[in-house]
């Protein structure tokens, strides 16, 4: 008996000793974990997703994860069906029919119908601000409904069957589908409850790739709603600054950080951890014609452009040079670029001042621009740049801006929306340029704006400087991020 006990003890000792030399390979477990979830560092957690047109792209990303629209704009800028399986437009361009897919469901499992879409549009017209629903205000009867002149059912030309929605406009509006692709038109139920996500998230209905698991002031956690997405969970976690997001990123506590600090971009790029996406927005400079003569404006523009060019040559991710183009898409027009280079190189005399004053709205991109310009002028000229970063109210003060020699203006630059683009510059236009703009509005809403652009450039009144890029830091868990044509994450393409 003692022999058996001794043999058992010896066996246990040998097995235990052998196990101590076995290394556990947790790589497979880690690989499974990569699919479980990611954490997205953000500077704010929106509680109101009812009116969203003025929210940042990061805030809109939460809505885009939860919802889908009848149509969406893909990363190539093409309008493609989403909740709709197909879109049919009448020959006169006034009526649109959307066939609803038969495999689309609400987050509670019930099927999405044409009636659901009509009810959603009715709620938008009833509850949201005009700026939020410019697309729907093109619909026949929509404005009368908002003014209380007609009922929705009898007066508004939005109708449905179980599997389709038909919309008739007042007039032909070529950008209708493009506008309809924006996030505010993504399908939601009980729109009024979306103004308090943290209180109501358990009672909300939507039909996107993810659904809300929890929501508070510091975090919104989403769980996948279908099998088409890679990650089971996405957490949007609030950090007080992007620097804090990056600090958490460095210790593997954040997987996505939008627009990391300028100082981190080259390092991230070199390690293949940076995705840079071109945005349809840019920086423009407005010259004060009363304080700087024509040749002075030409010289100042060239100086500022050289400053940005020097910076961009060493920091390629933050901006793309405008090269004399008001819209990024026009950079293929080599003849126009060459002509504007010739115009800007004309020589002349200018009694340079000791000081030039500059004002810009206070944001991260403008801080970098102002610093670059100030440093370049100090190193290469006898002119001192004094700049002011103004808050929103200050920058809206036209009289205040008139006291400065140069104004940096940020503007969305979508070539298909030129009328809106130049309207946002209206307060800076000369009388002659205002007349050109008004003529374009009256004669042809989609007219050729080159006459206005040539006037602005040749007079050195409003000049393109640079186009912005969106930079995204990604962890090892993320191999690619697809950004749709409206600047939001396409969660189907998040890998």
pLDDT tens-digit map of 202-217 = 999 999 999 999 999 9
* 209 within 8 A of 193, measured Cβ to Cβ: no
Percent of the chain with pLDDT over 70: 92
- Name which residue leads in pLDDT, 5 or 468: 468
Per-residue burial over 282-298, b = 16 or more CB atoms within 10 Å of its CB, e = otherwise: bbbbbbbeebbeeebbb
Shortest CA distance to 121 belongs to which of 86, 88, 153?
Answer: 153
Residue 385 belongs to some domain of the structure: yes
Same-domain check for residues 288 and 401:
yes
The H or E element that residue 244 is part of is: helix 242-250
Q: What tokens does 449 get? A: 């704006």
Same-domain check for residues 198 and 154:
no
Q: Which residues form the domain of 208?
A: 36-67+194-255+475-495
Same-domain check for residues 460 and 488:
no
Decide: helix, strand or coil at residue 388: strand
Same-domain check for residues 73 and 113:
yes
Same-domain check for residues 450 and 340:
yes
Same-domain check for residues 51 and 72:
no
Query: Of 187, 203, 235, which closes a domain?
Result: 187
Same-domain check for residues 59 and 83:
no
Same-domain check for residues 308 and 400:
yes
Parallel/antiparallel/unpaired status of strands 355-361 and 384-390: parallel
Q: In terms of pTM, does the model score above 0.85?
A: no
Q: What is the pLDDT of residue 227?
A: 80
Distance (Å, rounded) from C-alpha 410 to C-alpha 401? 14
The mean-pLDDT minimum among 47-61, 86-100, 289-303 falls in: 47-61
Give the chain's domain count. 3
- Max distance between CA atoms of the chain, in angstroms, equals 113
Tens of pLDDT, residue by residue over 146-205, are 999 999 999 999 999 889 999 999 999 988 999 999 999 999 999 999 999 999 999 999
Tens of pLDDT, residue by residue over 26-79, are 333 333 343 589 999 998 999 999 988 888 888 899 999 999 999 999 988 899
């Amino acid at each position: 008996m003692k022999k058996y006990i001794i043999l058992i003890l010896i066996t246990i000792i040998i097995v235990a000793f052998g196990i101590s030399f076995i290394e556990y390979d947790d790589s497979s477990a880690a690989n499974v974990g990569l699919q479980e979830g990611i954490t997205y560092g953000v500077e704010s957690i929106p509680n109101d997703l009812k009116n969203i047109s003025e929210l940042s792209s990061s805030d809109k990303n939460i809505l885009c994860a939860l919802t889908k629209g009848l149509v969406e704009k893909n990363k190539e800028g093409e309008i493609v069906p989403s909740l709709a399986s197909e879109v049919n437009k009448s020959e006169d361009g006034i009526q649109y029919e959307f066939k609803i897919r038969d495999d689309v469901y609400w987050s509670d499992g019930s099927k999405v119908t044409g009636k659901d879409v009509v009810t959603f549009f009715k709620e938008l017209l009833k509850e949201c601000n005009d700026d939020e629903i410019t697309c729907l205000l093109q619909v026949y009867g929509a404005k009368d409904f908002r003014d209380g002149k007609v009922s929705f059912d009898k007066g508004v030309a939005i109708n449905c069957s179980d599997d389709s929605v038909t919309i008739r406009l007042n007039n032909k509006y070529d950008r209708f589908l493009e506008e309809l692709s924006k996030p505010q038109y993504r399908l939601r139920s009980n729109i009024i409850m979306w103004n308090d996500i943290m209180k109501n998230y358990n009672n909300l209905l939507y039909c996107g790739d993810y659904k809300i698991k929890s929501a508070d002031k510091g975090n919104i956690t989403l769980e996948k709603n279908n099998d088409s997405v890679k990650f089971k969970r996405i957490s949007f976690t609030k950090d007080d600054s992007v620097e804090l997001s990056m600090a958490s990123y460095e210790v593997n506590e954040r997987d996505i950080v939008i627009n990391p600090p300028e100082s981190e971009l080259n390092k991230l790029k070199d390690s293949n951890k940076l995705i840079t996406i071109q945005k349809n927005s840019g920086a423009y400079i407005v010259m004060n014609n009363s304080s700087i003569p024509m040749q002075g404006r030409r010289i100042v523009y060239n100086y500022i452009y050289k400053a940005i060019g020097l910076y961009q040559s060493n920091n390629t991710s933050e901006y793309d040079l405008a090269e004399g183009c008001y819209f990024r898409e026009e950079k293929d027009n080599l003849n126009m670029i060459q002509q504007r280079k010739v115009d800007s190189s004309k020589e002349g005399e200018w009694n340079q001042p000791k000081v030039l004053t500059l004002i810009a709205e206070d944001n991260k991109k403008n801080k970098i621009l102002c610093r670059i310009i100030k440093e370049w002028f100090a190193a290469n000229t006898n002119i001192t740049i004094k700049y002011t970063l103004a808050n929103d109210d200050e920058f809206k003060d036209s009289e205040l801006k008139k006291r400065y020699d140069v104004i940096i203006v940020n503007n969305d630059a979508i070539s298909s929306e030129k009328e809106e683009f130049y309207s946002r510059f209206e307060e800076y236009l000369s009388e002659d340029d205002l007349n050109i703009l008004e003529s374009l509005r009256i004669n042809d809403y989609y007219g050729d704006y080159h006459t206005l652009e040539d006037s602005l450039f040749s007079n050195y009144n409003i000049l393109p400087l640079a186009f912005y890029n969106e930079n995204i830091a990604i962890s090892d868990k993320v191999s690619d991020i697809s950004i749709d044509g409206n600047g939001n994450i396409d969660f189907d393409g998040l890998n």
